[in-house]
Structure 1
């Protein structure tokens, strides 16, 4: 009967009312069946709501049988005689008691299955959202699950490992701690923060910290294990950088104190021999030993100067200097000529950026840094080889993680490479320590050469990166923050009048505030009307209601859409829109695609007035 089905579907049944004397509630509470031969006999015990329900379905005689599982009432089975019209008997009650028992088991199974599904879904959600790699094993040590973070870090998917033991995952030398962890799992123990190493799919080995424990089935018996792995490579690198910085700071403090005392002692050794020699006849037999004393004193004085540099005391970083000039001056110096005479088969190739930006620095210390790097590279090649010295302007869009972590910004970058013996990973940690005496590393003459390089770069608020392969060579890359102070230019090459603006409108799109300000100031100085926005999305919104003669688009913007996608969207609003592309990276395929769509010149950051001025003027004049 559809009407009765609708009534049952829309009705709420409350079996937990303590004061009710209705047969259904009594059957539920007392856990025994109730037979009602005639509804009229119990009308006084029913609530108005219950009585209305019974009358609506037309029931006159019915049985209420409890559904019981392990002593707990789960519900009530209500059966009437509407169809059969016969009297209900004790046999019907017995039959319903059996049906109720079977129904209880079915309800419990359904509830358990639902809980299991919900539990599995909940734990799967937690595991999949975990940023650290997670592996789930059964008690035989075979994989049943890998989370997405595991695939992202190690490269393997679940399909490649499911049902298998991950023996190939473990480097041979890391089996002792791996077996110890397996034994803990087998004995039901958990563990945390055990550091070891694991292979990636590509064959690389990365350091990891592992934690794990067993998980039980619904009866509390161990069902398998969950193991979480954390890639600690970056943590170890940061820790090493911190320890290195602390060590250099401690050495610098010590060096400063020693240098101060040595300076006082050396005053006599350096000054008095010079006075004595002035008073001594040329033929005196004492001249030679006194000259030896004087030269020894001068060498000691040079060490003191290096110690003071290492201590980072009294280095004035205020002069506007051009690194190209310092490099060129050193390569013409008597010191370099002497070095070349010792190593005639070492060739030097240089590639210095023509329009290199200036830095604030100390010419003396920068010159000594270049001397030490060149000497070090030359001695690393001993017999023959090639040394490469280069400079360039470079804008770092995103921090670079290396020996030092290089922050975002504009830099003058100095690179000194050699084809020498290279540096082992063990030696790499020590190369900037004072008096490092590995002969293959080269020496500055005082034993402080590379320590001086470190101190000078740090004084200039710069960064150092070192890349080396044993037997192939080493590359030192130094990053110095640029200065925007006026620089001398060759006015005969091109006049600023050639690329002055005529009031044209320009929209600068860049996610870095400093870059927007620099570009805007340069372009305003050149006579343009400039507006700037901080993202591709903002640029698109602006262009919906405005127009501009030219876009200056940063190619890499994060978060949000990049320069190419921004240009594509703006072209839909303004076909034939003129634009130039700017980026700190080398020219990429996305830059070329933007140019195929109509964008003009690619301007490499950091911005130089002449470079961006010419690019803008050329594009506007097309």
Structure 2
């Protein structure tokens, strides 16, 4: 609704409400009559405006309708203005005839003229309508003269005049209502009905209101300003609403205005006869008073009526002649139309007439056609479309499917409309055959759809299913399959097979089937029953599966090579494949082949990409794509995890604002290597993780051109070598310690030989000069210095793991508690010792003296690190080392351990000190306060005991040593045994002494000879074997050095034991170590004399061995 129309409508409703308030308000200060008249005038003006606004719609019927309505409302407005003037200004008597009464009488006549309007199809003047308007005007003048002009001359009573006026109003209103109702029956369109119904409603309400109002005014002498004034304003407002809300109705598409001969004839008769008769009746009354005036009215009426009749007769003759000519032309056009044309009864659907083109196209004779209905030749026609065709709706260019007499289907474009044929309504139907065009369109559409599904199908199965559906739109493809031949395996597979009776064949080698025949020939095959019999007789094919009435197969080719077959078949005799179906299937086969080949390549590519992506995503090394300036484009989860990110997406989001390279030199090294060789391999760099820590990576990659980035990028493999570098560093450290230990062990061995000589001769000299105090003190100083030197060599041997241990089962809890009393005086009062021992601690196999040595050494170091005092925590617990711990700590083995932890709260160490902590002679103490062998000894003892040691330290926070000893569950601690000191007695027996060092050999020979033993001396293994063979008496003990040039001591012992099985063996060595272990020297039952030794120790070993039973 236009904005102005909304304003008019709102104002009218507001005015009506205000009018009601004025009339029922009862405010004595307000002149109700004047207010009512003013509001009535305004409402009438709004109705005029609304009618003029509706007249703006460009319709040849609606525009004059609303203009006439606006004229009527305009007369009503003028009448109310004039009436208000006479009532308010002149105060005229309400019982007198006012000039406004004439306007009230005239205002319905413009509205009555709308009853004579007809919808025009051209702009030519409708003279019949003009004569009808003239008759209405003559009638209006005659009635006015008779009922107003003449009675004023002879009526004297005011009440009689009012009664005449009331009767005139009643008669006029009844006449208008009846005429409007009659006109509604002649309405032929929605436009006429919508307009005339609005006018009828207004006239009915207004007539009823005016009759009631005038009756009350005559009988009760009622003045203006009462509620009865609403009898005029309410119909006016309703008319305003109707004008503002009216819209041009939309006629149904193709609906024609049907001719109504009888109502049209009645309307014409009413116009040409009824109105002149009414005028003659009024004129006869005027003839008594005004004969001349009556004569003029009669002459004009008869002349107008005659002219209208002549005009109507002439128009009818012209229409009849035009109809004859039109029917003649129609028959010529109908008969000779090249398009199939027919007429049928819209009520029954039965054909009334068909042309020659229709009989030729559909194959029926004319007589056969006239016995059919429209439904008999139409296929798949929904009931609603059939109902629309029978109801008379116009059909323009719809596509229908129709059946010919032979059963073939036609697709036609159908046009239909209702015409008059032989005096009755009929439907004219013209069809245009588009069967071939539609086939071509479907074929072209099929090609497009096949190309489309080749890109949109998710997989090959979806593609095959879509191809089946597309082919089914072109021909009968209920039974359809696709066969593909693999050239590598020479197997024929059926990836898609739909059949009413047979199931999909299993993959097979090509045989003599129809499918194989097309594969071999590379040509289409239309195998009817006869053709199949012919091929079978020629030995080309063999019948397999359910026999089909028709089989049609076309090759699928890639270039000149046939890789598959597309086939359809059916089992019903009513369906036959022909050349057209063969050509259609052949035509689409190339597109199908391209689609299948494309989808197979896509799936192969997707599988390859999936494998590649799976390889990248599941790789344990980092893989990425980055620009030349190391802006990461893609990363795999391993690389994101390597740098501490939860996902690749998080890394890509944050890496844009983070520099990954910790050292820009490595970044430059990558660029240099790439520019020199086009790739980079094994470039080591340091990357910064998300948490800020740094890791070592090894980078390898290549450069390539990326179309998406339009730049050269890197494809990089990044391997986190942080752990490897740490392990390598630990391995290097261990190898360095091993090398230093080997060197230290060798030096200690040589020193022990020298110290053995020094110690032994010192003891001999002390015994010889026991009476000389000064000489004895000097010799004793030599002996004490030799003992200190021996202690140093023992530490070196302990570090190099070449000392001989005496392990047994011990409990570290017992050892720690016993040692606590010795440690407290050593540490001093400012250091507190805290013990935490596990109650269920396992047992370990170790040398208790060496473990005590370890604790003493660590305690002394802790004391020196806490000059202001602190706490020394000693803790024992069970521990299980996992594979991961062992991988990260070379030398550690997974398994069950007892953990001994020693923690101080001292100054800690820096990274330099930590790196050289266990190296011999390395110390952080002041000169003269440490030898640098303490922790070396600790390291050697732990390693020799099969354990592992770690250190954690932080400057200013303290140090923790963790020592892991192998745990032996379910074994109890071995009891400690103490031997009583032996008394020196004279020796008896023969001893074979083998020693390559002259000084040591001479010393041992002198000591044992002095003790009374018979000594056989050899400086080499060969000499010892010779003596063993030549000496006739018994040899009780073989006393041999372990390490000698040529044959070692253990090898010599084996050889001699083969000669003298009862021989006892004592080994002498400056160290034991792995060499002695490999030779079995430290096995149970083997006696070892550790260098340097004293004469007493030598004598005790000899006496001990002589008392051992002889092994047999």
Once the two structures are superposed, residues 190-245 of structure 1 have per-residue CA deviations (whole angstroms, 9 ceiling, x without a partner) of 6655544444444333334445467999xxx9998764444444444444444444
The Cα offsets for residues 424-458 of structure 1, whole Å up to 9 and x where unpaired, read as 33432321111113338x99733211110011112
- The equivalences for 1:228-377 within 5 A come to 228-266=717-755, 272=762, 275=766, 297-324=786-813, 326-327=815-816, 332-333=821-822, 337=825, 340=828, 345-352=830-837, 359-377=844-862
TM-aligned CA distance change 1:11 to 1:389, over 3 Å: closer
Match of 1:413 among 899, 912, 935: 899
Answering whether residue 864 of structure 2 is matched by residue 379 of structure 1, we say yes
Q: Is residue 431 from structure 1 mapped to residue 917 from structure 2 by the alignment?
A: yes
Q: Secondary structure at the match of 1:439?
A: coil
Q: Tell me whether 292-301 or 431-440 shows the greater mean CA deviation.
A: 292-301
DSSP 3-state at the match of 2:499: helix
- 1:150-299 matches, within 5 Å, as 151=641, 154-162=644-652, 168=658, 170-173=660-663, 175-178=664-667, 180-181=669-670, 193-212=682-701, 227-266=716-755, 272=762, 275=766, 297-299=786-788
2:548 corresponds in structure 1 to 56
Stretches of structure 1 that go unaligned for 5 or more consecutive residues are 490-622
- Residue 418 of structure 1 and its aligned partner are, at CA, apart by 1.9
Q: Larger strand proportion, structure 1 or 2?
A: 1
Give the match's secondary structure for 1:479: strand
Deviations 1:368-407 (A, max 9, x none): 21221112222233x3242423132414264544656654
Contact kept, 8 Å, 1:410 with 1:482, in 2: the verdict is: yes
Q: Is residue 143–residue 164 contact of structure 1 (8 Å, CA) maintained in 2?
A: no
Q: Is the 8 A contact 1:303 1:446 kept in 2?
A: no
Match of 1:144 in 2: 634
Distance 1:466 1:15 in 2: 71
Kept in 1, the 8 Å contact 2:830–2:868? The answer is: yes
1:478 maps to which residue?
963
| CA positional deviation for 1:148 | 6.1
How has the CA–CA distance of structure 1 residues 188 and 225 changed in structure 2, closer, same or farther, with 3 Å as cutoff? farther
For 1:546, the equivalent position in structure 2 comes to none
| Rg (Cα) greater in structure | 2
Measured in 1, the distance between the counterparts of 2:515 and 2:880 equals 81
C-alpha contact (below 8 Å) 2:674/2:702 kept by paired residues? yes
Which one of 394, 401, 408 corresponds to residue 878 of structure 2?
A: 394
Partner of residue 7, structure 1: 499
Output the TM-score relative to the length of structure 1.
0.59
Paired residues for 1:418-567 under 5 Å: 418-439=904-925, 445-482=930-967, 484-486=971-973
Select the residue among 135, 138, 142 that pairs with 2:623.
135
State whether residues 375 and 443 of structure 1, in contact with CA within 8 Å, keep that contact through their aligned partners in structure 2. no
Cα 1:53–1:462 change in 2 (3 A) is closer
Tell whether the 8 Å contact from 2:831 to 2:869 is kept in structure 1 after alignment.
yes
Q: Structure 1 299/11 Cα, relative in aligned 2: closer, same or farther at 3 Å? A: closer
Aligned residues: 468
Q: Which has the higher contact order (CA 8 A, sep 6+)?
A: 1
Change (3 A) 1:188 1:78: farther
For residues 907 and 705 of structure 2, the distance between their equivalents in structure 1, rounded to whole angstroms, comes to 56
Tell me the SS of whatever aligns to 2:592: helix
**Shift of residue 300, structure 1, vs aligned partner:** 2.9
CA, structure 1 residues 386+443, in 2 after alignment: closer, same or farther (shift >3 Å)?
A: farther
Whether contact under 8 Å (1:417, 1:476) holds in the other structure is yes
Partners of 2:878 and 2:899 within 8 A in 1: yes
Q: Does 225-234 or 5-14 show the bigger shift?
A: 5-14
Counterparts of 1:97 and 1:183, CA distance in 2: 60
Question: Which deviates the most, 471-480 or 290-299?
Answer: 290-299
Structure 2 counterpart of 1:45, from 535, 539, 559 = 535
**Following TM superposition, by how much is the alpha carbon of 1:258 offset from its aligned partner in structure 2, in angstroms?**
1.4
Contact map agreement 1:135 1:143 (CA 8 A) in 2: no
Distance 1:436 1:474 in 2: 17
Q: Distance in 2 between matches of 1:443 and 1:475?
A: 25
**Corresponding residue of 1:536:** none
Separation (CA, whole Å) in 2 of partners of 1:23 and 1:322? 87
**Aligned-partner Cα distance in 1 for 2:690–2:637:** 15
Shift in alpha-carbon separation, 1:162–1:122, aligned structure 2, 3 A: same
Query: 2:593 matched to which residue of 1?
Result: 104
Structure 1 residues 210 and 57: alpha-carbon distance in aligned structure 2, compared to 1, 3 A threshold: farther
Q: Secondary structure at the match of 1:477?
A: strand
Change (3 A) 1:113 1:300: same
**For 1:475 and 1:320, how far apart are their aligned partners in 2?**
26
Q: Distance in 2 between matches of 1:410 and 1:42?
A: 83
Is the CA contact (8 Å cut-off) linking 1:404 and 1:464 kept in structure 2? no
Specify every segment of 5 or more residues in structure 2 that has no aligned partner in the other structure, as ranges: 1-475, 481-497, 977-1112
What is the aligned counterpart of 1:124 among 602, 607, 613?
A: 613
Contact 2:905 2:958 in 1 (8 A): yes
Q: Distance in 1 between matches of 2:540 and 2:559?
A: 33
Deviations 1:253-292 (A, max 9, x none): 322221232234446777759959977778x9x98x9998
User: Which structure dedicates a bigger proportion of its chain to helix?
Assistant: 2
Distance 1:444 1:390 in 2: 24
Aligned residue for 2:916, secondary structure, equals coil
After superposition, give the CA deviation of every residue in 1:499-553 in whole Å (9 maximum; x if it has no partner).
Answer: xxxxxxxxxxxxxxxxxxxxxxxxxxxxxxxxxxxxxxxxxxxxxxxxxxxxxxx
Question: C-alpha distance in 1, partners of 2:930/2:508?
Answer: 95
Q: 1:238 to 1:230 in 2, by over 3 A?
A: same
Contact kept in structure 2, 1:196 and 1:208, CA below 8 Å? yes
Q: What CA distance in whole angstroms lies between the structure 2 residues aligned with 1:54 and 1:323?
A: 90
Alignment of 1:611-622 (within 5 A): none
Superposition deviation, residue 114 in structure 1: 1.4
TM-score (norm 2): 0.36
Q: CA RMSD in A?
A: 5.2
CA contact (8 A) 1:434 1:451 kept: yes
Mapped partners of 2:724, 2:578: distance in 1: 81
Other-structure match for 2:1029: none
Contact 1:424–1:469 (8 Å) recurs in 2: yes
- Structure 1 residues 67, 272: closer, same or farther in 2, change over 3 A? closer
Cα pair distance change 1:358/1:164, threshold 3 Å: closer
